[in-house]
A and B are shown apart, each in its own frame.
Chain A
């Protein structure tokens, strides 16, 4: 297996996502198969080739710093699971 169960749990936790033990077992097997497939890239010579992060070359795109109206707070909070006095509400981060 290209990836261990411990690594599957670690990667999920880097993303802050919980997984059940059944999921860990299933994803270990499936991700290993996919990571093995990725090894095909070892066969291609990329010595001295620059990386491409974006398909069309763009320099930083700037605009004038002019004030504009933003979306109304109540429209944005309408989709929030919990809100209070114009803010998103979350559980205590530090207890």
Chain B
């Protein structure tokens, strides 16, 4: 519930359109780079929380299949897709563990959104589950996405500290 409220407030503030903020904000002034970065970070946070933690708000009457595939509140947009570039520091190369964690979570949330969108958002079935057909190909593609995220989380090229996943 709070995720939905926060997301709507963010949209009203124009956080999802940080480069068009004057269309949303009341002061009609363009934010500086630091402010825009914070807006992007906040919007990414809304996406992550809405996707990865939406299960906390599953209604009691919902079925297990629903609980395993809650549609994301926010669809992927330009800000979400380009968040790594928008959030990367331009002047400093210092490793930011909080930013790293945020971007890792974003990767997972994006994959989760794709899984839910492709497999449980079918408009032709009452359950929303995709009907048998080309699902195997979809599974293969999604599995590739998962493995790609898994590999990126294990980045041990020396630029980042070792990732402890367990």
Pairing of A with B: no
B contacts, CB < 8 Å to A: none
A contacts, CB < 8 Å to B: none
